[in-house]
Chain A
Amino acid sequence: MPAILPDGDPAPAHGRLPSSAVQQVKDAEASGSARTFSLYVHVPFCTVRCGYCDFNTYTAEDLGPGASRTSYAGTVTGELDFAAEALSGSGVPDRTLHTVFFGGGTPTLLPASDLVSILGRARELWGFEPGAEITTEANPDSVTRESLQELAEGGFTRVSFGMQSAVPHVLATLERTHRPENVPAAVGWAREAGLEVSLDLIYGTPGESLADWRTSVEAAVALEPDHVSAYSLIVEEGTKFGAQVSRGVVPDVDPDDQADKYLLTEELLGAAGFRWYEVSNWARDLEGAGVHQARHNLAYWRDQDWWGAGPGAHSHVAGVRWWNAKHPAAYAQRLATGVSPAVGRETPDADARLLEQVMLGVRLAEGLDASVLDQAPDGGQSARQQIAALIGEGLLDGRAALAGRLVPTLQGRLLDDAIVRRLLGF
């Protein structure tokens, strides 16, 4: 979760949804294309704050009543109860959970038993779809064979390791605490426990050479994960990196270098049997059947519904977005007094919803349904001209476009934001 929260309207204390959103959920269900419902649980603790990180996370063990590492599971479970109450109180039809994702921070800084007990409450409240994907993020040095075993037995199906790099000097620049050799061990234990494995990588760190990046991708491939995410480093304002870059101590990221590394990523992962399905995500998928894709993240990109629990977490149900108090103590205090932890809410208008759909859709290999653009004020006329131009420039896949899907080419993936702007005429 990004630490900077968008502006919005105040959120109601009871947490209930506007009836228009509820109606949309009902209509979707009635039309046979039900909106899926997922759960995100934010765990705002880390042992060290990495220099690049702008997520809502804290290194102190105790951030106040209800916001210590030991009391956190109880607090966030309280939000799950609140969520179930608010949803049913709003008249949203009961839905079982499509996916669950524990993110952070470092969720595995909590004892496995805490994560399992939070998950257990979610199961009691909503139940899981058959074969539901249940993921936790983990640092390679914050898990043991036993803890992973316990998570698997408690219902988790997948673990996403923050590997970031296999090169020691890059890990040091990123201020990661783990050593490269922690990763194979952690992946091995996860495999033993029967968990699917995803590895997160970061490219474009200052001082990282193209050869360093090749080393990292090859090391990841050698571990035979099911899934790889590769993100270009973004220097965010308000982070230690951001401050160092603006002071000139650390060079800013070089977008050309990042483009080279992205192309290398595609080359190496493609050769190893991974297929991209989102700009920064690849799944081991020899048949192209979509296996091992992160279904939780797909739910975000396909504009489905989810409840985000925990400090600073964002939620979305049928076009209504809201977000929780950022500081764990403020968050806990709201829950303790029976007030919704949400501090802001927005209902993007038709223009904004169209923008969301386009910007999410053209990030995906399945692409954007071109007919979505008919909602534009001019009925999609200028978008159609742009589509032709973008195909001509090699940014959109012409064959997919003929079938009504707007799918970026490899070059188009690197210029995805430009595609969004041009499709929407700005």
Chain B
Amino acid sequence: MSPMARNAPVPSATDPAVIRNFCIIAHIDHGKSTLADRMLQSTGVVQPRDMKAQYLDRMDIERERGITIKSQAVRMPWEVDGTAYALNMIDTPGHVDFTYEVSRSLAACEGAILLVDAAQGIEAQTLANLYLAMENDLAIIPVLNKIDLPAADPDRYAKEIAGLIGCEPEEVLRVSGKTGVGVEELLDKVVATIPAPQGDASAPARAMIFDSVYDTYRGVVTYVRVVDGKLHPREKIVMMSTGATHELLEIGVSAPEPVPSQGLSVGEVGYLITGVKDVRQSKVGDTVTNFAKPASENIGGYEDPKPMVFSGLYPIDGSDYPVLRDALDKLKLNDAALIYEPETSVALGFGFRVGFLGLLHLEIVRERLEREFNLDLISTAPNVVYEVTTEDRSVVTVTNPSEFPEGKIHEIREPMASATVIVPAEFIGAVMELCQSKRGQMRGMDYLSEERVEIRYWIPLAEIVFDFFDQLKSRTKGYASLDWKADGEQASDLVKVDILLQGEAVDAFSAITHRDSAYSYGVMMTGKLKELIPRQQFEVPIQAAIGSRVIARENIRAIRKDVLAKCYGGDISRKRKLLEKQKEGKKRMKMVGRVEVPQEAFIAALSSDGAGGEKSGAKK
């Protein structure tokens, strides 16, 4: 049994030979944060009395959802056979929307713990990240977690993992983050298995940014892994992608509270503070070097975050528009992937068109806006980015159905995705049926074990963005897991479907769909609106149309009776209050032409009925 290190190596003066940089690859709910907490305790960096569940997940939303959005790094001392080591645990986001951030975290490590729930087996997203780790030549330590669970089946899943990474089932460690069983052995294994970092201590300093977090008090905190050379406090540094220079106000390591140091040397992981206020000035994947003695080449692998999904966000109370603008400006400081621009909707008023990495990113941003800034928001159905070529060969990039060009279209190209689904073999048929109906093309299928199959499809991203995940879950009794990544584009027969109230198009309900789905979208939306919009004093036709061609129609008949039968002594207060309530409700009405549409109708029509881990917030 390894003791806690008595003489922890000192940051800035640590021999790379005693450094171990690793991350944990795991699916949401497989217990990564709990295991990380347990490691903090075992290594003594967090005292039991300071422990709160999921110490590293700093945002409330992360803690509540049990997921990690932003990664961090923690330096932990650990002693094996009398040698004190410095273990840097780099916590990685577990969700597909943040694949790029994951790839940068992996690039900062020499090894990875593959953490799998002993009751559930490996999931698609974990598999995707495992492939990434193996491509980066990381040493993999396979671990089954939650072995204390009654439903745990470690023998079965050890075999599955062994098959995937090419080891013996006996080599798969068994731990319980909850009880602490096996955690110390795991730390020993990290020291034994993961290679020490290598770099040139005398070369010009190069450090890779793998995370960048905005802190209200300290400005942007940048997390880096030093590859070559050394970074010192108070020296001038350069961001190699932009050439921007900053002064290093503070440098240090997380343990897990920030501890300033005399610098960071080869192989070390820590944080930098330069006083900048916007994470865009400190981009994930960028290389930091010394201004006076700069490196000639960056570390490589840097990419600008690219939004894949767009949605309109509107305050329910129109007077909250400035609050929403300020809130987005604040969130942007901490979210380099968030982009937005103002947009106006006839139906919804003033709002923003916001681009996201994916649906979870959308959900998280929306939830943070509502929770941290006390906003009530409507979000329009998410859509992807289309390239539309008109007959005169001009190309329009469409991020909002309202930008869809009028007139004849030569070609429409839509983004595609490679999707991987892992599912028990009995659901193969159901998954294939769903993927075919969503215009997917099968790319392959592999048995991970006798019971579990990995199915790969090439599928329009727009279909994934809509209700794909909800449907996948419901058709597989919740067993399927999904991973996807953007993968090219294709020309498709797409059309814009407009929804008209009394002949007036309601921009918020317009959608770009495949021609074959246009009719069902039209029928669904007109039917839904008929139920949601109260009867007016006049008849209101609801139509779905492609251009000027009506493809579906419903009618809201004129209201004939709108009077309370009784109004005697005791009814007067009550009826007055009823009318006062209607008066309040009127403020939440939006006018489309002469038609009064309750805000609730927009919300209900734009939200899906589906639930599940990855909410689509899209049409059904």
Contacts and interface: CB of A to CB of B under 8 A. Distances in A.
A285 interface: no
Contacts of B572: 300, 314, 316, 321, 356, 360
Nearest to B577: A6
A323 interface: yes
Interface residues of A, number: 47
Given A306-B569, A308-B569, A348 B563 contact: no
Query: By DSSP majority rule, is chain A's interface helix, strand, loop, or mixed?
Result: mixed
B590 to A, nearest CB: 14
B569 A417 contact: no
B51 to A, nearest CB: 46
A256 interface: yes
Contacts of B574: 2, 4, 6
Nearest to A324: B570
Contacts of A255: 559-562
Question: Which of A1, A6, A424 has the most chain B CB within a 10 Å cutoff?
Answer: A6
Interface string B518-537: 00000000000000000001
Contact of A359 (B537, B557, B562, B575): B575
Nearest to B585: A426
Contacts of B560: 255-256, 259, 414-415
A415 B561 contact: yes
Interface string A169-193: 0000000000000000000000000
A402 B582 CA distance: 29
A265 B583 CA distance: 31
Interface string A200-221: 0000000000000000000000
Given A314-B573, A348-B576, A421 B565 contact: no
A231 interface: yes
A258 B573 contact: no
A275 interface: no
Given A6-B574, A415-B562, A363 B567 contact: yes
Contacts of B6: none
Given A414-B562, A417-B563, A297 B568 contact: yes
B135 to A, nearest CB: 57
Interface residues of B, number: 26
A356 B563 CA distance: 15
Contacts of A2: 570-571, 574
Contacts of A232: 561, 565
Contact of B537 (A321, A416, A418): A418
Given A232-B561, A426-B582, A415 B537 contact: yes
Contact of B565 (A231, A346, A418): A231
A420 interface: yes
Given A300-B568, A314-B569, A314-B570, A413 B563 contact: yes
Interface in B540-576: 557, 559-576
A352 interface: yes
Nearest to B586: A426
A291 to B, nearest CB: 21
Interface in A22-75: 40
Contacts of B580: 352, 355
A234 interface: yes
Interface in B573-620: 573-577, 579-580, 582-583, 586
Interface of A: 1-2, 4, 6, 8, 40, 231-232, 234, 255-256, 258-259, 262, 279-280, 297, 300-301, 306, 308, 312-316, 321, 323, 346, 348, 352, 355-356, 359-360, 363, 393, 413-418, 420-421, 424, 426
The 4 A-B residue pairs with the shortest CB-CB distance, nearest first, are: A314-B570, A259-B560, A416-B563, A231-B565
12 contacts: A1-B569, A6-B577, A232-B565, A234-B564, A280-B566, A300-B572, A363-B563, A415-B537, A416-B562, A417-B564, A417-B582, A426-B582
Interface of B: 537, 557, 559-577, 579-580, 582-583, 586
